[in-house]
A = this chain, B = another copy of it.
Amino acid sequence: MNIQLVVECVMLADDPTTFVTREVSDIEVEIGGIPGDRHYGILRPADSRQNIYPRGTMIANRRQISIVSVEECRRIAANMGVPEIRPEWLGANILVSGTDKLTELPAGARLLFPDGTGLICEGENLPCVGPGKVIEDVYKQTGLHRKFVPAARKSRGIVCSVEREGSIHRGDLVQIRLA
């Protein structure tokens, strides 16, 4: 994937009551992720995704930053039969445009930003039930939440960790480097 992506929006999950993010003007990234975001930390407790460890075991945090694409959000919306899926509802930190295959980016690929900031792709963000409930609340269609996981498979974007600290802004061009 030797294409250039554009940052359309950057977002922060700084409300402790929800994973839903809100748009901000820019995000600082440190080696533990985005300060102030709920996923910030050098370590994080293992959850059901890391079932090789007992739940709650402190492990290296490789799920610091969530990225989704405009094209894939549109595909999820079409698959669910709704007008729009907002990246905030998915808890995304970065929305990019320029690819309908972001979710296929292999673990180990690097994302480079204009100021030298570098992220490491840690692989596909497997869909879970949380965003479906947010989407159901928005559209007020009982049972809609059950459509999310199948609709978002291979379209829900990637999780990344920070390789080089810096900041990321709306409008940034993103270079992808495969390993």
Residues of A within 8 A of B (CB): 31, 42-43, 52-54, 57-60, 62, 107-108, 110, 112, 116, 118, 120, 122-123, 161-165, 177, 179
DSSP majority for the A interface?
strand
Interface contact B42-A164, CB-CB below 8 Å: no
Interface contact A59-B118, CB-CB below 8 Å: yes
List the B residue with the shortest CB-CB distance to A50.
Answer: B163
Interface contact A179-B123, CB-CB below 8 Å: yes
Interface contact B118-A53, CB-CB below 8 Å: yes
Interface contact A118-B52, CB-CB below 8 Å: yes
Of B53, B112, B161, the contact of A52 (CB 8 Å cutoff): B112
Give the CA-CA distance A163 to B53 in the complex, in Å.
Answer: 10
Give the CA-CA distance A117 to B52 in the complex, in Å.
Answer: 11
List the B residue with the shortest CB-CB distance to A51.
Answer: B177
